[in-house]
Structure 1
């Protein structure tokens, strides 16, 4: 009897211990399958490249594979709609740039609300932009470029990568601030626009350093007039900003953030955020982003609150610019 009682007592203790541990184990089990990182643009493009650089170290932190999925179309809004409609469990994450803030002004029939349909993970990195011209444009500096554009008006051609592209947005803000009226020339992507600039078919282009960096370093195929951010770039320390050359307050950068569907558990958001923070401290990630002339944001910006604030302010900023230019995407 005594031996049976001991066995019974031990069994009861084991059951009690299992019962107490079960909730903790359940809470700590997420994620228990791969996480999908949705990219709104084509494989091989700047945003896709960064997503794939981040996916590996984020997967290590989460203990699951992070799979990059390219959901392309409608200026990135198809990807936004896909994540907004996904199950709010944290397994589907959107990696999007400033297009998240410009979509409401550009698309009349947008099927999601950037402010109401998402929870936020945090800001990730910024890609500065640069102002370039064809090599044989008869100007030597930024002030001469402004004078040339004001004198020649719509005879000057300014290329961009299509309606809603960051290069078009930069062009719209630039022309509105300096009071010039060049002819806007849309292309199907940044590559063709830059190629025609180098070939002398168009006069001016404003685009991100992930595209223009190698050409600037080459130094023989275009003229470069400045950086569109308030601070100079570590990768091009001798390149002045437009702000310091007289265009005060001019600030355009391709900022990036991560989002999940509204209602995602805070614990899951916290784990994704922690994985993102760890990835941004990874030496390989730092090296690859530096090679792309991209700048990792400070740790205080890798928060849901910071991303929400950035999105709200950028929506206000670009809504005014886009509506003033009467630009509408289909």
Structure 2
């Protein structure tokens, strides 16, 4: 963990933004609203508040968190889209922003056209967790059980199109298994049913999963990313455990409404990079299970986001996921 922190901090110094974090028109000169399109207390809310507090400190203006959960993040994202493109409304979006167009029959906005990527903030590995009552102790046993009893295993998610849903669908596709999806509105609603055994398993952000695992309430099988997580190095990756090619890394990043002036986007991007790679926020992020990303530009994040959107179109097609209303 110490080596990871040292490495990331060294990288951030090489890309450190200019000390001037204000646009020529004296932006920002009032409160900035950061829409978090997820429920209070969840993983998205955690990263939104951590980054928002540091952004406010660097920009000299308060960043007000506005939780607008629901519809896999679409309700909050749409609220940002419909806001003035003046730099005073941002949204802390996640993987679902890229995947929803591939999973929903209709969307009232186009994430690629109607939002401007500002900066990616962090990745969040997911952990495959099962209720301890299940006779499943590793990924190989999970695959064997699911194949022996098609559709019998139930997996929870925090909503259709969310990272917990997508991670499981990708697993089903690559492992050749059939499991039944049980969507909830938030992790906080799914967790009690998972702990009680009403649902069998979940692909859960490690920020939420590891405390339950360490308390003995859930059993961890593997992490979703291509490399082992520094927060739980004892856990194999899903690919190591037998599902070749599996790699899912949830991500979070800042977006602004399309039409926001480039000078303002540049200020926000520089502040975001400086915030995420500041020593104090780095420690908080890593301690809570987040993985800060290398500094990027709005153009680099835009390319990443476009590739993510295209990827989920392919996954939805290959997995034969039925578009929902």
- Give the aligned partner of residue 228 of structure 2: 232
1:322 is aligned to 2:316 = yes
8 Å CA contact retained: 1:161, 1:186? yes
1:127 is aligned to 2:124 = yes
**For 1:2-56, what per-residue CA distance to the aligned partner results, in whole angstroms no more than 9, with x for missing partners?**
xxxxxxxxxxxxxxxxxxxxxxx98251111121111111222211121111122
**For 1:285-308, what per-residue CA distance to the aligned partner results, in whole angstroms no more than 9, with x for missing partners?**
223222321111012xx3212211
CA shift at 1:247, angstroms? 1.8
Matches within 5 A, 1:250-289: 250-289=246-285
CA RMSD of aligned residues (A): 2.0
1:200 is aligned to 2:200 = no
Matches within 5 A, 1:121-160: 121-160=118-157
**Equivalent residue in structure 2 for 1:38, among 24, 35, 39:** 35
* Shift in alpha-carbon separation, 1:26–1:79, aligned structure 2, 3 A: closer
* Shift in alpha-carbon separation, 1:162–1:30, aligned structure 2, 3 A: closer
CA shift at 1:227, angstroms? 0.6
Give me the whole-angstrom Cα distance separating, in 2, the residues matched to 1:118 and 1:325.
Answer: 28
Q: Matched residue pairs, number?
A: 303
Give me the whole-angstrom Cα distance separating, in 2, the residues matched to 1:87 and 1:192.
Answer: 33
For structure 1, which segment, 68-77 or 94-103, has the greater mean C-alpha deviation from structure 2 after superposition? 68-77
Give me the whole-angstrom Cα distance separating, in 1, the residues matched to 2:270 and 2:133.
Answer: 49
**Equivalent residue in structure 1 for 2:179, among 179, 182, 206:** 182
CA shift at 1:156, angstroms? 2.1
- Give the aligned partner of residue 48 of structure 2: 51
Give me the whole-angstrom Cα distance separating, in 1, the residues matched to 2:153 and 2:44.
Answer: 30
Give me the whole-angstrom Cα distance separating, in 2, the residues matched to 1:34 and 1:198.
Answer: 40
Give me the whole-angstrom Cα distance separating, in 2, the residues matched to 1:168 and 1:134.
Answer: 17
- Give the aligned partner of residue 304 of structure 1: 298
Matches within 5 A, 1:19-168: 27-168=24-165
Segments of structure 1 that go 5 or more residues without pairing to the other structure are 1-24
CA shift at 1:241, angstroms? 0.5
**For 1:197-221, what per-residue CA distance to the aligned partner results, in whole angstroms no more than 9, with x for missing partners?**
2222322221111221211222x22
Segments of structure 2 that go 5 or more residues without pairing to the other structure are 1-21
Larger Rg: 1
8 Å CA contact retained: 1:172, 1:325? no
Give me the whole-angstrom Cα distance separating, in 2, the residues matched to 1:228 and 1:145.
Answer: 14
Please state which structure has a larger fraction of its residues in helix.
1
8 Å CA contact retained: 1:84, 1:117? yes
